[in-house]
Structure 1
Amino acid sequence: MSQELNVMEPVAKPPARLSGRSVWRLLSLFGAVLVALAGLRVITGQDMLTDAGTVRTTLTFAVPIALAALGGLWAERAGIINIGLEGMMILGTWFGAYFAWSTGSPWIGLAAGVLAGMAGGLLHAVATVTFAVDHIVSGVAINILMLGAMRYLSILVYADVPGAGASQSPTAPSFPVLSVPGVADALGPVASSGIPVVGDLASLVIGVTTRLSALTIIAILMIPATYLVLWKTAFGLRLRSVGENPDAAESLGVPVYTFKYIAVVISGGLAGMGGVFLAIVASQIYQEGQTGGRGYIGLAAMIFGNWRPGGLAMGAGLFGYTDALQIRGGGAAIHALLLLLAVVLLAAALWQVRRDRKGLAIAGAIAAVLLLVWYFTTDSLPRELATYSPHIATLLVLSLASQRLRPPAGVGKQWRASRS
């Protein structure tokens, strides 16, 4: 084991040296986004672009996606593709709502939902790690199986329960709602002043510090916790080595099968927590189909984030923000983003010109001009298009970011221990 640590220790040092630059990039990106949205708010008059209510709604939509993305990150960093996140979230929604309702405690519901998701992860690990079933086939099978199984359980359990039935549970108790004392009172006048950037920043601070569910805070803390475990500990180094090169990891004494099992079970638990959030925080009730493909969207957010916790958080935030705008403001709020998107595409086109990629530059410029024409000739987006704007935004950003992605080298590959 000492040989293992001596050989692998130098590999852990480069991320530590780069962390300062990574934090600076994130802060710079955050500042640029805040300034852009503040300017867009002033130009378009759409105050909800940055108000505290939009921030809180964004968190409500982004948290379950971020938890699913974290689940995908854990699994894929160990070399396992977890398409079954959707089914594990379904397990979390049903068991979380049922145990919260039957015991009267949302915390017991949280524990039950996480354990149910971990059970789904264990099933996926047995299929993919032990029996070498194709990862995609196993994940899709879990999604289909869990959807039908939860409907069967609902019919079995809620048949004689008032207000419940085959497709929904009774109302579950909610988690405590927390606020930082004094923040809203101190920053409220600043937020309502309308001062560009300053007022928008105040609204952001109010949104992330007031009227937050306890589970929202726990879920947000999972992002830095994942980073610390996977990138700052020997355990995380070994787990990531399993996803990069399992043969090399095995030669250094790392129990590859064990780490794959641990990663996929944790992946299922995080997805189950996302399901609990949907059932208890977002709606206080289990409803059939309420995951709405968020397991798949979580995978998209993970890919957008380049298999890093900070990046996937931004991907989840992007989807949550566009979803929050279309819920709160409909087509008018989403319509304002057309102007911002056009400016971004023009900037991207200029960047491609500098890199001598004329084809991409021309395509970006044409798309930007079309968006500008669309913005100035309309006042609002059609309701149907606004509803799917989060999906469109996610696909657009994924397509723009796809050239710089680096998945773990061993992800999705079947592996067998060498025979001595």
Structure 2
Amino acid sequence: MSETIFAPSSGAGRAGVSVLRISGSQASTALQSLTGQLPPTPRRATLAALHDPDSGELLDRGLVLWFPGPASFTGEDVVELHLHGGRAVVSSVLDALGRLPDCVPAEPGAFTRRAFDAGKLDLAEVEGLADLITAETAAQRRQALRQLDGGLSKRIEQWQARLARQLAHLEATIDFPDEELPTDLEMAALNDISSIRSEMRQDLGSADIGERLREGLEIAILGPPNAGKSSLLNSLAKREVAIVAETAGTTRDVVEVRLDLQGYPVTLADTAGLRGAQSEALDPVEAEGIRRSLERAQSADFKLLVFDATLRPELDILSLADANTLICWNKVDLAEVDPPTIANHTALPLSAMTGKGLPELIDALSNAVVQRFSEVGSEPVLTRARHRRAIEEASAALDRVATQSLPELSAEDLRIALRALGRVVGRVDVEDLLDVIFREFCIGK
């Protein structure tokens, strides 16, 4: 970490203001090279003129913020330059910084990596920050903020502290077998371990919700060719996402669009038209499209089965319906459907062309999504597969504690549980995870 790093921390492209961040031991020297002045009062915005260190040319006038370490995001000396957001301005200042000794452009995630190494953030908080940057909906933002604020970390650390205490008691019975230790010590330890194990299982039960909220629910739009699936996708997206044509089978691949339903993230997937068991695909490309449609139907959280109200529904396709399926009669502007049922299944009448029934469909989808995430509250939840795997490993180790014949074996299982929990917050065995996690960050963060 001898090098001082710099990068834009705001988005690329033209903007009113762009923020450049500098972090490292030469941050103050770099600032003096650009402004000709000593760093200003810490954490107070100061107007300064920035010049090229070699030619003296004026590059811009902007605000300078000085954060001396360790009271900074990275724990190092940090400078923030708030410049005019033109490409030429940003490019000229970056070029000037690149010519200074020991100053190098930052790699993706480099600033946050330094914050982690300085103990400013643990690994779970780092991931919360990454999720906050990429959050698209209010629910994702709330979940990411809980994790960034240490909600998950505090829960893990509480488990660690309790397990460490019980491990110490167990070690005492091993190391001092002849001492008169309280007779109920082992029973109290087992009771607390059982309580922790129950809490872990409860969190594992909500792990799928946390992961799905972070990634978004998937809704597959399925149905026969020319039922209006692509038109429905365009109507829900409020823009032309999929090609719509009178020719059946226009959609050959899966077309996706992201939506925000009641603050929750959803991916809508328009799929190739399905054919009944008695029908055959017209060509190999269509056959592959159908295979992908069925594959998406299996993996989707919800399904929208869309049928043409002017035609008889194919019962083979209707068999895909389950408890997580909404069935739609489309094109009711061409053929009125009364009552709105398909083979004893309740169906929602709508017209993707005129918009009839569309508000009711959106309400039905929103209610289904809200119901799916109803367990998400103020408590921290597991948001990544690696969290789940670590808690599963810790829980399995605690399961073994009560069944071991020797206290030494129980103690080893407690150590395994502690190491597994440590991987969540980055206390032990994390080197193999760091590059993967920090690679997700953008330049300048």
Q: Normalization by structure 1: what TM-score?
A: 0.23
Give the number of the structure whose alpha-carbon radius of gyration is greater: 2
Length-normalised TM-score, structure 2: 0.22
- Decide which structure has greater strand share: 2
